[in-house]
Structure 1
Amino acid sequence: MKKLNLLSLALSCVLGFASCSDSTTPVLAEEQLSSVNTAASTGKIAAAPWVKQFEDTFNVGSNLSQWTKEQRADYNSWYCDYNSSVPTTQWRDGKQCLEIKTTKLSAYKYQSGFISSHYQYKPENNTEYMLSANIKLIAMDGGTYKSFSDTYGAWPAFWSVQQNAWPTKGEIDILEGYSFAPNASRYTSNIFYGTSSGNNLLGNAAERNYPGSFNLNGNNGWHLYESFWKMQNNVVTVTIKVDNITVATYTNSSVANLNFNNFGTHSIIFNMNVGSKDSNFIDPNKINLFSSVMMWVDDVTVYKRPI
């Protein structure tokens, strides 16, 4: 998500939810949101030879000590500020979750959250890493749930990156969601890379849309998002999956100027951006998040195996 211009913003970016106090969620149109169940599984498969390297199950009461909670403006939007108080742990859908929730502060300003892991990883030769998270995107209108797809202007992301001297050590976007109601929302993966700080050489040439079968509201809104990053005989491959269905497979030949071999160690990031610096991409006058848009993360894990 550490995007730069989505269409033609100057390449100045380097990147790219308040808590509810009760432990139950209001009864809602949750039946509407879960009325279409996907056949895809959201279960994680990590038997031997996979070995767990990192995990956070976001138990309620956790102070998120494995993460940095950032406090700053978003690099891609004039309208979103990140506050370190926003990422919290909550009971949601009977699960202990990370919650990142937007709050409207004024007509053109929203408060949201951004966390990056202290843990970093990168495959050595003949190893593969699997990064996965179970995530739900949802909105609230007072005490009623609304589908994320009913909102306009929300931009949640799950990704990995080396933020120093971005994008020289690369970026892997597993999920980027864009809400454009009443038109269709969009879900993509993406890769960024450059040889000098602040200069992404790929543009959006590596962006890949999720398959047409992806239904955000299926599985009661919960989906398994995964990145498989491997180096085999010094050849690097990155595969993005949602609910065990492949979204994209990337190698150096996938996009001009891409060089996975120069990627550095990556942190894991969850954030919820609002709006954009490009009004042709997200019109600030159309932003509608109802009372709030939220990202719930049930768990995040990293596994490693030899290949």
Structure 2
Amino acid sequence: MKKLSLFSLTLACVCGFGFGFGSCSDNAAPESETQSTSVSTGKIAAAPWVKQFEDTFNVGSNLSQWTKEQRSDYNSWYCDYNSSVPTTQWRDGKQCLEIKTTKLSTYKYQSGFISSNYQYKPENNTEYMLSANIKLIAMDGGNYKSFTETYGAWPAFWSVQGNGWPTKGEIDIMEGYSFAPNASRFASNLFYGTAVGTNLLGNTAERNYPGNFDVNGNNGWHLYESFWKMKDNVVTITIKIDNVTVATYTNSSAPNLNLNNFGAHSIIFNVNVGSKDSSFIDPNKINLFSTVMMWVDDVTVYKRPI
């Protein structure tokens, strides 16, 4: 998840990137009006892929494979993470992880952040595939709104080694930014540095999704994937959306990048609100209606020899 200032980087280092998320089941919110037509993009993981990790977020799950965050976001003055926010819900006829934002006051929002206890990185001549089916949506009272109608939401699906950030790297599979009435923006990104708290890449590794990416397509459900491999000690990271490649990273993709130094990563889902940079996200324009939500139908990690 993008780090916008040296202050936030240093704070991340001092606080140690505690990770988070909670459980329980709350069925108060209605399901999507179009649930009968929703079909998540299928995953292809035939042999020689072997499953290493999975969570289907069954309703009633205590999310024991995850750690819940209770803190302010490092990149925003306006978002606090509460460990009670993440829940498991029936949404669009699916059992999902739900991360929901709530407006607490004019300039303060509550949201959620969850990190897997499971960690992974490729050994030489292996490849890992991290996949999640995700939907982003908003609500205005009892009425559903498109994510694209909101302003100031910042959801993310990423992996990171938090200890000593960013010396063991960070892989942002999806970062979404809502800027209504202008177009929303989605991107992948990498972060890396040789000293704790100092990102050497800036945003030189950021890759915007193609202009034809429609977050509302397929009833809002999309398959987000990261392929992380090491072949003969050469590391490559590929990001795909709905089975279409949107970014491929090697050490030559950005100055100072060294993918060989990336460490074992945890998997993270969170929804940030606002930013510490008012020229990036204007706090006076934030509009999430009643709530913005991230629904995660499932997340898996597969491994294969190459």
User: TM-score under structure 1 normalisation?
Assistant: 0.92
User: Is residue 2:20 matched to residue 1:21?
Assistant: no
Corresponding residue number in structure 1 for 2:80? 81
Give the distance between the partners of 1:157 and 1:10, measured in 2 at CA.
17
Unaligned 5+ segments in structure 1 are none
Could you list the per-position Cα deviations for residues 28-50 of structure 1 after superposition, in whole angstroms to 9, with x for gaps in the alignment? xx59xx8xx99xx8210000000
CA contact (8 A) 1:128 1:305 kept: yes
User: Is residue 2:99 matched to residue 1:100?
Assistant: yes
The 5 A counterparts of 1:272-287 are: 272-287=271-286
Give the distance between the partners of 1:25 and 1:303, measured in 2 at CA.
30
Tell me the SS of whatever aligns to 1:276.
coil
Corresponding residue number in structure 1 for 2:61? 62
* Distance of aligned partners of 1:240 and 1:46 in 2 relative to their CA distance in 1, 3 Å threshold: same
Give the distance between the partners of 2:235 and 2:210, measured in 1 at CA.
23
Corresponding residue number in structure 1 for 2:133? 134
Tell me the SS of whatever aligns to 1:226.
strand
Corresponding residue number in structure 2 for 1:144? 143
Corresponding residue number in structure 2 for 1:163? 162
The 5 A counterparts of 1:153-302 are: 153-302=152-301
CA contact (8 A) 2:8 2:74 kept: no
Unaligned 5+ segments in structure 2 are none
Give the distance between the partners of 2:143 and 2:30, measured in 1 at CA.
13
Could you list the per-position Cα deviations for residues 177-227 of structure 1 after superposition, in whole angstroms to 9, with x for gaps in the alignment? 000000000000000000011100000000000012211000000000000
CA contact (8 A) 1:227 1:240 kept: yes
CA contact (8 A) 2:27 2:90 kept: no
Tell me the SS of whatever aligns to 1:293.
strand
CA contact (8 A) 1:23 1:92 kept: no
The one-letter code matched in structure 1 to 2:151 is Y
The one-letter code matched in structure 1 to 2:31 is T
Give the distance between the partners of 1:210 and 1:243, measured in 2 at CA.
12
User: TM-score under structure 2 normalisation?
Assistant: 0.93
The one-letter code matched in structure 2 to 1:12 is T
Q: Aligned-pair distance for 1:109?
A: 0.3
Q: Aligned-pair distance for 1:277?
A: 0.3
* Distance of aligned partners of 1:279 and 1:24 in 2 relative to their CA distance in 1, 3 Å threshold: closer
* Distance of aligned partners of 1:249 and 1:26 in 2 relative to their CA distance in 1, 3 Å threshold: closer
Q: Aligned-pair distance for 1:10?
A: 6.2
Give the distance between the partners of 1:288 and 1:208, measured in 2 at CA.
26
The one-letter code matched in structure 1 to 2:10 is S
Give the distance between the partners of 1:12 and 1:219, measured in 2 at CA.
40
Corresponding residue number in structure 2 for 1:304? 303
Give the distance between the partners of 1:178 and 1:59, measured in 2 at CA.
28
Q: Percent identity?
A: 81
* Distance of aligned partners of 1:230 and 1:263 in 2 relative to their CA distance in 1, 3 Å threshold: same
* Distance of aligned partners of 1:293 and 1:10 in 2 relative to their CA distance in 1, 3 Å threshold: closer
The one-letter code matched in structure 1 to 2:153 is A
The one-letter code matched in structure 1 to 2:124 is N
Corresponding residue number in structure 2 for 1:109? 108
Tell me the SS of whatever aligns to 2:10.
coil
More divergent stretch after superposition (14-23 vs 270-279): 14-23
Q: Aligned-pair distance for 1:22?
A: 3.5
CA RMSD in angstroms, aligned pairs only:
2.1
CA contact (8 A) 1:23 1:91 kept: no
CA contact (8 A) 1:26 1:143 kept: no
- Within the candidate set 5, 12, 24, 2:10 is matched to 12
Give the distance between the partners of 1:202 and 1:259, measured in 2 at CA.
10
* Distance of aligned partners of 1:274 and 1:175 in 2 relative to their CA distance in 1, 3 Å threshold: same
Q: Aligned-pair distance for 1:9?
A: 6.7
* Distance of aligned partners of 1:190 and 1:13 in 2 relative to their CA distance in 1, 3 Å threshold: farther
Aligned length: 297
Give the distance between the partners of 1:213 and 1:67, measured in 2 at CA.
34
